[in-house]
Amino acid sequence: MGTREYLLDKAKKEGLDKGIQAGMATGLEKGMATGLEKGMASGILKGKIEILQELGFSVADICSKLSLTKAELENALKGV
């Protein structure tokens, strides 16, 4: 392998490494934002369910008011 080929190979590797690092950083950032958004939505839903329970609404009424199935309601309370 000559000098030219060596330098091209090295540049390719460096470019690939930088691309991978940038991609991972972007993916991590997007993943964290999505996770935070889903977590907040889940917490808000759980809070609404708990308030309605405290007010004495039945499971059927809560499902109706929040447009949830019984399984969705149970999963929200479990934090799934």
Condensed to tens digits (0 to 9), the pLDDT of residues 1-32 reads: 688 888 888 888 888 888 998 999 999 899 99
Q: With contact defined as beta carbons under 8 Å apart, do 74 and 53 qualify? A: no
- Give the number of C-alpha atoms closer than 13 A to the C-alpha of residue 73, restricted to the C-beta side: 18
35: pLDDT strictly greater than 70: yes
**Domain of residue 11, residue span:** 3-78
**CA dist., res. 41 & res. 1, Å (int):** 57
Q: What is residue 67's three-state secondary structure?
A: coil
Q: With contact defined as beta carbons under 8 Å apart, do 62 and 53 qualify? A: yes
Q: How many domains does the chain have?
A: 1
